[in-house]
Amino acid sequence: MLTSIPCVLMRGGTSKGPYFLASDLPADTALRDQVLLAAMGSPDNRQIDGVGGADPLTSKVAIIGPPTREDCDVDYLFAQVVIDEAVVDVSPNCGNMLAGIGGFAIEHGFLAPVEGETVVRIHMVNSGDRAIARIPTPGKQVEYEGDARIDGVPGTSAAIMIDVEETAGSFCGALLPTGNSIDVIDGVDCTLMDNGMPVVAMRAVDLGRTGYETRDELNADAELKERLESIRLKAGRLMNLGDVTSMVTPKMFLLAAPRNGGALCTRSFIPKVAHASIGVLAAVTIATACVIPGTTADGLANVPGGNRKMIMLEHPTGDFAVEIEVSGPSHDPKIERAALLRTARKLFEGNILIPGRVWDGKNSNLETAST
């Protein structure tokens, strides 16, 4: 017998995946992960037996529940479903899927919409941090359509402004977990940083690359991927993440001087496949590296002055603007806040059907999902 689980399929920023109510999934996390693997069709490099899109950017899941932080309206747990391994990784956040949370939360009654715009305070459970999303709600209805454009997504949608707070050292304990702005790993200068996403940032030239390669060129570069994985495994330990073999963090960045008027040119691996654009919290972390003296971005980046800066990061399909607010002296700045523009689109509402051999529908948080 199939178990039917309500879900909404959404594009969040430049990612896509099913959004579930936590109460509709098994309470036991090991069983929940089996259900998510079955829903997405992993492990299989085509994800043919599930709704995953066979790309890390479309093999993502959002799980939404009542807030467990008093100053939030909703809990958001992100899960990266690995495509070709039976692994569900809840260690990172995803700032792209985050873009769909506000609308989902309003439409599922976690908070009442306000005429015009509704502010949704989101507890990002993976890290414990908070994000504040401004959702357009004319007529007290979530508006998905609009004229905002983000690179990596064709067309336009309603603008969702998101502020992320308290992200320094979210996963690694400190913005610079080793205390250094550069550590040398396998002979390569690496900035190990976490401002919402653990990243390893390297100058592309130090790896014999330009940093302007296309996504396809990077994905075909087996020698580069092998070197990056060796660096990543060592960096993970240095960043207090332990053995990161089965984790999707830290993300790996190649940096180069900007060439389209931005602050810095980026190419990223997440962590084994090249990103089509750039991750959101990864972008916040790289924008932070641009303003911290002595990092691998320092010297390459063209950073605007002032305490409130719009840092434009170039990526394979355009650019991504991160607004950051810094305080303190320029030799030791503190990042107060980061803000971003995203869009989301509700694509499909329905039910995912899970084979009975995986789950019989019992033991959900509310025991209501079975048919």
The footprint of ligand NQM (CB under 6 A) covers 14-15, 56-57, 93-96, 197, 251, 270, 279-282
Least separation, in Å, of the C-beta of 176 and ligand NQM?
Answer: 18
Omega of the bond leading into 136 within 30 degrees of 0 (cis): no
Q: Count of CB atoms within 10 A of residue 304's CB?
A: 12
At residue 19, the 3 state secondary structure works out as strand
Query: Would you say 42 or 96 has its CB closer to ligand NQM?
Result: 96
Identify which of residues 255 and 354 has a Cβ nearer to ligand NQM in the complex: 255
Buried b (16+ CB within 10 A) or exposed e, 7-18: bbbbbbbbbbbb
Q: Nearest distance from residue 109's CB to ligand NQM, in Å?
A: 26
- E strand or H helix at 142, and its extent? none
| 3-class secondary-structure state, position 211 | coil
Q: How far apart are CA 116 and CA 271, in angstroms?
A: 39
Least separation in angstroms between CB 10 and ligand NQM:
12
Q: Which is nearer to ligand NQM, 283 or 369 (CB)?
A: 283
CB of 15 to ligand NQM, least distance (A): 4
3-state SS assignment for residue 178: coil
Residue 75 or residue 194: which is nearer to ligand NQM going by CB? Answer: 194
Shortest separation between residue 197's beta carbon and ligand NQM, angstroms: 5
Query: Which segments of the chain does DSSP mark as H helices, in order?
Result: 29-40, 98-107, 215-219, 222-238, 280-291
Alpha-carbon distances, residue 90 vs 29, 78, 84, 178 (angstroms): 11, 6, 16, 23
Residues 6+ apart with CB under 8 A from 362: 370
The least CB distance from residue 27 to ligand NQM, in Å, is 27
- Spatial separation of the C-alpha atoms in residues 335 and 165, rounded to whole Å: 9
What are the backbone angles phi and psi of residue 67, rounded to the nearest 5°? Answer: -70, 140
Question: Closest CB to ligand NQM belongs to which residue?
Answer: 279
In the complex, the smallest distance separating the C-beta of residue 161 from ligand NQM, rounded to whole angstroms, is: 16
> What minimum distance in Å lies between the beta carbon of 113 and ligand NQM?
25
Collapsed DSSP state (helix, strand, coil) of residue 105: helix
Pairing of strands 60-65, 15-21: parallel
Report the distance separating Cα 161 and Cα 155, nearest Å.
Answer: 18
**Identity of the residue, 287 or 354, whose beta carbon is nearer to ligand NQM in the bound complex:** 287
Instruction: Name which of 4 and 346 has its Cβ closer to ligand NQM.
Output: 346
Q: Rounded CA gap, 340 and 52, in Å?
A: 26
Residue number with CB closer to ligand NQM (153 or 354): 153
Least distance CB 367 / ligand NQM (angstroms): 32
Q: Cβ of residue 268: shortest distance to ligand NQM, in angstroms?
A: 7
Long-range contacts of 304-308 (CB under 8 A, 24+ apart): 304/263
**Which residues lie below 8 Å from residue 279, measured CB to CB, with a gap of 6+?**
94, 95, 96, 197, 251, 268, 270
